[in-house]
Structure 1
Amino acid sequence: MSSTRLYDTIGATYTTTRRTEPRIAARIWAALGDARTVLNVGAGTGSYEPADRHVLAVEPSALMRSQRLPDAAPCLVGSAESLPFDDQSFDAAMAISTIHHWQDPIVGLREMRRVARSVVVFTHDTTDTGWHRRFWLTRDYLPEVADLLVRRPSLTELACAIGARLEPVPIPWDCADGFLEAYWRRPEAYLDENVRRGLSIWARVGPDIEQRVVRGLRADLASGQWAERNRDLADLDTAELGLHLLIA
């Protein structure tokens, strides 16, 4: 499924479930440094776009573009792999929770590097130890996620492609942005249909697997097995779940 079709499938709840998380936003905006002109690639509904800079957005999905607020940055139709701008057109380019949907993340990142003097990307580590085995949802309930990572570039390969440094981003337990790992200490959230509709993973694995995960998680919550298995999470305010900034 292409990224455009995917977001046209899952994007209807984005304005309610995928909001800017202020603590992550602070990290992203700090990484932008003194950039005054910013290109937001794979911009979605406009989360994390800094209000105090001149932002231009690029987004392929019509559904996502339709949910941008009237005062959001102007948004063009386009994809990361072929950005319609001259070299060094922007002070910075940013991409937030999107590159795992690109057809060719390496090409997209190099395009961002071409059109901007600096690049800031928020993404996850898709290696087995960095994501699949670290996060209880994928480890205990959704092993199929490993199949989705086959032939995808590693975080190190992504960083090397644009000469980026890596900065881990701990996820607060009450994260406002409902990406996949956001509810690591609030497992009941994954039983909520509206929450799940804002997560691309379910469109990728299909409804049968989704309902199997929901049934298994519901049973483990009711029996106390989830709490026992994940008792080390109860007192944590943040968790390292493989989320990183790539800064170049």
Structure 2
Amino acid sequence: MVMRLYDGSADDVDHGAFGHRHASCRRPDERIAHVIAQALGDARDVLNVGAGTGPYEATARTITAVEPSLAMRAQRPARLATAVDAVTEDLPFADGQFDAAMTLFSVHEWSDAEAGLREMLRVTRGPVVVLACGPARVRDFWLYEYAPDAPETEARRYPSLHRLAAALGGTTTVRPVPIPLDCTDGFNETYYGRPELLLDPAARQDFDGSLVLLRATP
């Protein structure tokens, strides 16, 4: 049984309490979007798990979004599809229903990463793409020297890359994703050249470390 909070947030992440300004900080960066698009290839029917406000949902594809938090679903732009209220560990879809699946900045919020990835593999006949943080790199971020609590908490929450790759099985490739100095997306490590923005409480709600992309194919 997956623990869900009052607004539907799964496990220990209470988006209902602090997620109401999420969309204002999380604006897609075209360079990160390009990496995701490359990993998805020519897939047309794509599942987005832990979709949040949908910043990387390309309108050129047919996206089915899954998001358990009411606060996050309420902030999705009108141009995007309404997200399904469900959790990753129990997806309400048929086997092999989608061409591809992705989860971006979300796997560390799941109650059971292995179960969630098994479900994504079950409902997908093509690649499964995971954009996550390399937890070993979080402690290398300069913020760790000044305010270690936030990055240390995130380092403990993110599954190791070995664990994710083992759960994905099949043929899994791992590649680093550079974070541009002028990145338009608003997770905390994007502010390494603009540290004054870390004074904004809304910005500090999205701490992620060095990005990596895992792509599993059957």
TM-score (norm 1): 0.77
Q: Aligned equivalents of 1:65 and 1:86: distance in 2?
A: 23
Greater share of residues in helix:
1
Give structure 1 stretches of 5+ with no counterpart.
202-240
Instruction: State whether residues 60 and 78 of structure 1, in contact with CA within 8 Å, keep that contact through their aligned partners in structure 2.
Output: yes
Cα 1:17–1:147 shift into 2, 3 Å:
closer
1:30 aligns with 2:38: yes
Residue identity in the other structure for 2:132: T
Cα 1:53–1:192 shift into 2, 3 Å:
same
Give structure 2 stretches of 5+ with no counterpart.
none
Q: CA deviation at 1:106?
A: 1.6
Q: Aligned equivalents of 1:151 and 1:243: distance in 2?
A: 15
Whichever of the two has the greater Rg, that structure is 1
Aligned with 1:173: secondary structure?
A: coil
Residue identity in the other structure for 1:123: A
Residue identity in the other structure for 1:71: R
- 1:155 maps to 161
Cα 1:7–1:52 shift into 2, 3 Å:
same
TM-score (norm 2): 0.86
1:12 aligns with 2:20: yes
Q: Aligned equivalents of 1:72 and 1:78: distance in 2?
A: 17
- 2:108 maps to 100
- 1:215 maps to none
For residues 186-230 of structure 1, what are the alpha-carbon distances to aligned partners after superposition, in whole Å with 9 as ceiling and x for unaligned? 11110123323x4268xxxxxxxxxxxxxxxxxxxxxxxxxxxxx
Name which of 145, 166, 182 aligns with 1:174: 182
Q: Aligned equivalents of 1:71 and 1:185: distance in 2?
A: 32
Instruction: State whether residues 42 and 98 of structure 1, in contact with CA within 8 Å, keep that contact through their aligned partners in structure 2.
Output: yes
Name which of 68, 75, 79 aligns with 2:76: 68
Instruction: State whether residues 150 and 207 of structure 2, in contact with CA within 8 Å, keep that contact through their aligned partners in structure 1.
Output: no
Query: How many residues are paired up?
Result: 205
Q: Aligned equivalents of 1:186 and 1:71: distance in 2?
A: 31
Q: Aligned equivalents of 2:117 and 2:146: distance in 1?
A: 32
Q: CA deviation at 1:61?
A: 0.3
Instruction: State whether residues 93 and 120 of structure 1, in contact with CA within 8 Å, keep that contact through their aligned partners in structure 2.
Output: yes
Q: CA deviation at 1:131?
A: 1.6
For residues 133-163 of structure 1, what are the alpha-carbon distances to aligned partners after superposition, in whole Å with 9 as ceiling and x for unaligned? x111124321464355447531111012113
Q: Report percent identity of matched pairs.
A: 46
Instruction: State whether residues 186 and 203 of structure 2, in contact with CA within 8 Å, keep that contact through their aligned partners in structure 1.
Output: yes
Instruction: State whether residues 10 and 199 of structure 1, in contact with CA within 8 Å, keep that contact through their aligned partners in structure 2.
Output: no
Aligned with 2:20: secondary structure?
A: helix
Aligned with 2:121: secondary structure?
A: helix
